Structure 1
Amino acid sequence: MPAQTVAIVIHEGVQALDVAGPVDVFAEANAYLPADDRYVVLLVAADRQPLRASNGMWMLADLGQKGVRFIFPLARVPQKGDGGN
């Protein structure tokens, strides 16, 4: 299986757990996969300006919307106030 790129979209007021949880899941999965098959997780936002999560934690996207040049096969978009569901 080739490496998969996973996008997690962040925005002002996102719940930190809705970002950190999936990041941790993919990091744990990577521990059991060969190096060439591991997940690459990227945080994506409208731009690369720092954002505050709902708990006050600062987050910084790896890519801004303008930096996205491909379609992500797997994406997670947490919604404000709904716990990401």
Structure 2
Amino acid sequence: MKVSVVFAKPEEQVWIPVNVDEHATLMSAIEASGILNMFPAIRLDQQKVGVFGKLCALDTELQDGDRVEIYRPITWVAPDEDDDDDDD
């Protein structure tokens, strides 16, 4: 069956079509895609994965046409609290 594996960094996005066996899991599709070699910084023990925007476990069984997504950590930096406009 055909599925795809996707991963997006701010500067680069990849979409890899993969043929997998019936009853394949997210993990087996990720391994078959070779994406872990392309992006060695991916840490599946720390990053979330899903199918079509829904979080799933790595052992979730896939359906034909599924899009496996590897989510990167959200990084947010709080704005600087030191406001130079404040003359107190």
Q: Higher RCO, 1 or 2 (CA under 8 Å, sep at least 6)?
A: 1
Name the larger-Rg structure. Answer: 2
Structure that is richer in helix per residue: 1
